[in-house]
Amino acid sequence: MNTDKKEFFSTSEVAQNLGISRTAVLKKITSGKLKAQKIGRNYVIHADDLPIKHGGKLTKEKKEIIDQAIKKTVKDYGEALKLLGKE
């Protein structure tokens, strides 16, 4: 999927790109895990709201979430990470 030119993607396009079913994409939308806009009976997903590895952009909010996850991981598993680093 070339996200450089398109601004919005259908649920079918996102499903194909993520390697999941269209139903799974709809479940992610209804559960709030994937941001989408409803147009008529269908949903469209903005390119910026795609997962980063699939062409989405790293926004300030997404970066903050990643930073928080890293801090929590280091806090909870710091000693184990140090031991793994020595291997």
Nearest to 54 by CA among 29, 15, 18, 11: 18
**pTM of full prediction above 0.75:** no
3-state class of 46 per DSSP? strand
User: What is the structure's pLDDT at 3?
Assistant: 46
End-to-end Cα distance, the chain: 39
Number of H helices, E strands in the chain: 3, 3
pLDDT digits (tens, 9 = 90+) for 51-61: 766 556 667 87
In which order are the strands placed within the sheet that holds 37-39? 8-10, 42-46, 37-39
- For 30-80, how does the pLDDT look when each residue is reduced to its tens digit (9 = 90+)? 999 999 999 999 999 998 888 766 556 667 877 888 899 999 999 999 889
